[in-house]
Structure 1
């Protein structure tokens, strides 16, 4: 699908196809009550072909171990563990590398660059191939791949081999699992009587689920009364409470979202959310560096609360869409990675409405990422940067009839200014970067002393129960 290369006509007769038009459909468009599009279609990446060879099993490297892994070149995407990565490779060097990987452990490295001009990457993610296909057309060999992100790593050394491929010596980064902050004061016989999250009523029974959740929290944090900290402080660092708060935000994006489609493990859930957030690489690499699901969820929640709109990354003052327009048309969530016929990977966010965009050319169904929809290239009306595509249904009974797919690399999250507040977007972006300021120790914390653990992690407590940001210090209450 489209990038700037597709905007050049092959001959003069096609100039009329490259005409630039303003879009007015989105201004009066209404959100559909029912979405009848099959969300499993985008996840299958059917445009790559249906006869791909599939592999089973997975490769897991030991935590903190050093590994030498081949690096996938020319990759601008910052891969998150659990995220699917579709590829179409044409260069002989890359085709040869993939053939070699298929005979081994099918694992390669995707380096994480926080800036397009950055020469050396410090972090990255391993990717494992789970589907593979070779093609040959007009004498050009092509490899189509589906891979999935596995483990984070820190880069120690990069070297280039005689064949031009690069190898990276990396250290696998572990996930630090923090203990239950109240585990040190809970009595074992009473802890067995706690309600388990799996017994929670279905989300469709809203009132019943809310009552259940209130009872669950009251029972879980009743031991806080014998400590120096109030119960709400402990809840701010409880993985189940954080996951529940993030799910409420996700349900605002997609009313049809089913909790069953989300991971139940806090680590996997935090990565799923990170892969769906429409943030730039500077913020995403900070999330990738965090080694604890609890702190990752806290940062994600703060980002979701603060960022209310998305603007053009190039001109930085043109608003393209708002958080309220985001919705999910895929089992992956509102944003997923797709690859176009030229081999360029776009992380595409689906929204109902977008503004300040011009359409280029005519609708096309060629290798559409969303079967049943035709795409049209969209550019920023102010600076002309490529922002994504407008998708229009080819059948009248398909809902939604139209939506936008915006590429993450062209967008910048923006915090709305408060009344009387002055400052440029750079300071707002610096505020977002300031959310993630916690450094974790090299070893897992096993202490039951919550206050000591938090001091060891250099975490400051929020100023109120409703505050998710790290903005103040709470004085311990008397026991």
Structure 2
């Protein structure tokens, strides 16, 4: 018995030491933030100049689409509880809804600089304000006339090269929606992201409140494919003129004469590129859309010589007759073309599929389809109609590292942000520890435990904000201490600190159900700041 007692005491001592070590690390991070107040102020000039903003209806749309009374998959946990941040206690509504500011507007607001947090428009950010300087910042926001109840949120990080603390130059304004002042002087606050801004300069006021001069970013409009990108006539007359019979089939009207002016404005090189694009477009129509995937495996060579035969000069325009002569071999499905389908050719310089690559609404549909596979089947119809809103919605919840999410925040064009998010979802497959690259979980382990989505921000009693992604399963993690229900972000679940078993950095928490009827019985919350930036 003495040996067992000794071993248990040693294990308890080791657990206590690890817990103290993790606590010291977190306190060190908080102290680093406090040191920012005494740093020399820097003025950073940034470029600006964008297009018009989205309409107010899109901005005010409620993005809570991940379930109501219960989570999917037979789970019984009420996912709306986590998004209410009930652990903060009772908070009073400010009943303030500020109108959105015009792009390019410059104003002074109190600043909150947070480590490990990237706030996006329409995302919720809870705060437990303990430090005197940030309490002064909240008080200033509550009484200011210009942009009342508004603060600026900026990500702060430590440079890996020289170890210095850096401020991001792109942040998001946050409107204080709820708050409560406690007896000890601290303030519990629930804010909501509003508009992106560029940080031009920052300073500390006499009462200690950190402030900054910001410029609201003017958001661009979603891009649409031009109406004339696909027309009813071929753009080059020599394509139709090369075959008399084909010319009769197309039945050109007087509008066809206008194509001569289009052709005359093209150089020889441009004409070759455009003709080549048309040929590719016709071949795609002939072979790609009308045959099944099995048929595509058994396509024959054309009856005549190839498109790039030695009999044809490189600068020769390919006749339509030869383009139409390429057809599938025996056994493949035959194509029945109507006159309309033959006449629907690109009228613009590039084929239609090129424009679709940057069509915001096409990209929004594609992204929403991919996002449904990650988080289940939320209602995304309204988001697809508002591509700008969808791009912020996914960016605020996509389970990637904070540096990658900051990159998304800094992208100005809606189409470019949507394309980047599609790329991230295509490459997103594994979650690894940032420090040692240990595999923690796979994409299939993602779990939605909040109406805010698979990733959300939560604040602990010390005022430190954590953005965590929820997982049903995780590997390579060890636990410290016993489960506790105190200040739990997920009502009905007790939490235990989890750290990487390889490098012993804190990765997050294990949440275990207290009520036997709650499902899932347990899940993990992984800090996004500790996730490896393993994206391309």
Corresponding position of 1:200: none
Instruction: State the 1:254 CA deviation.
Output: 2.6
Instruction: State the 1:130 CA deviation.
Output: 0.5
Aligned partner of 1:160 among 204, 207, 220? 204
Pair 1:328-2:448 in alignment: yes
Contact 2:156 2:165 in 1 (8 A): yes
Aligned partner of 1:133 among 180, 196, 207? 180
Aligned partner of 1:350 among 464, 467, 470? 470
Q: For residues 366 and 264 of structure 1, what CA distance do their matches in structure 2 show?
A: 42
- The 5 Å alignment of 1:90-105 reads 90-104=130-144, 105=148
Seen in structure 2, the aligned counterparts of structure 1 residues 280 and 133 have a Cα distance that, compared at 3 Å, is same
- The 5 Å alignment of 1:101-180 reads 101-104=141-144, 105-113=148-156, 115=158, 117-136=164-183, 140-180=184-224
Contact 2:114 2:154 in 1 (8 A): no
Q: For residues 183 and 118 of structure 1, what CA distance do their matches in structure 2 show?
A: 49
Contact 2:223 2:360 in 1 (8 A): no
Deviations 1:195-239 (A, max 9, x none): xxxxxxxxxxxxxxxxxxxxxxxx9xx966333433332222222
Pair 1:364-2:476 in alignment: no
Q: For residues 87 and 149 of structure 1, what CA distance do their matches in structure 2 show?
A: 13
Q: For residues 32 and 77 of structure 1, what CA distance do their matches in structure 2 show?
A: 27
Corresponding position of 1:244: 365
CA RMSD of aligned residues (A): 2.9
- The 5 Å alignment of 1:274-289 reads 274-289=395-410
Contact 1:93 1:165 in 2 (8 A): yes
Corresponding position of 1:25: none
Pair 1:257-2:378 in alignment: yes
Q: For residues 407 and 119 of structure 2, what CA distance do their matches in structure 1 show?
A: 13
Aligned partner of 2:421 among 300, 321, 341? 300
**Higher radius of gyration, 1 or 2:** 2
Q: For residues 233 and 166 of structure 1, what CA distance do their matches in structure 2 show?
A: 47
Corresponding position of 1:400: 520
What's the TM-score, normalizing by structure 1?
0.69
Pair 1:89-2:129 in alignment: yes
Instruction: State the 1:120 CA deviation.
Output: 4.0
SS at match of 2:76: coil
Deviations 1:146-204 (A, max 9, x none): 011111111222222222222211211111114422234579xxxxxxxxxxxxxxxxx
Corresponding position of 2:431: 310
Instruction: State the 1:110 CA deviation.
Output: 1.2
Q: For residues 283 and 300 of structure 1, what CA distance do their matches in structure 2 show?
A: 10
Aligned partner of 2:89 among 46, 49, 72? 49
Contact 2:229 2:351 in 1 (8 A): no
SS at match of 2:479: strand
Q: For residues 82 and 395 of structure 1, what CA distance do their matches in structure 2 show?
A: 33
Q: For residues 195 and 166 of structure 2, what CA distance do their matches in structure 1 show?
A: 22
Deviations 1:70-123 (A, max 9, x none): 112455422111111100011222223212312230111112346454334322
Corresponding position of 2:242: none
Contact 2:18 2:480 in 1 (8 A): yes
Seen in structure 2, the aligned counterparts of structure 1 residues 318 and 185 have a Cα distance that, compared at 3 Å, is closer
Contact 1:182 1:224 in 2 (8 A): no
SS at match of 1:405: strand
Contact 2:121 2:172 in 1 (8 A): yes
Corresponding position of 1:463: none
Instruction: State the 1:411 CA deviation.
Output: 0.6
Q: For residues 260 and 173 of structure 1, what CA distance do their matches in structure 2 show?
A: 26
Contact 2:116 2:466 in 1 (8 A): no
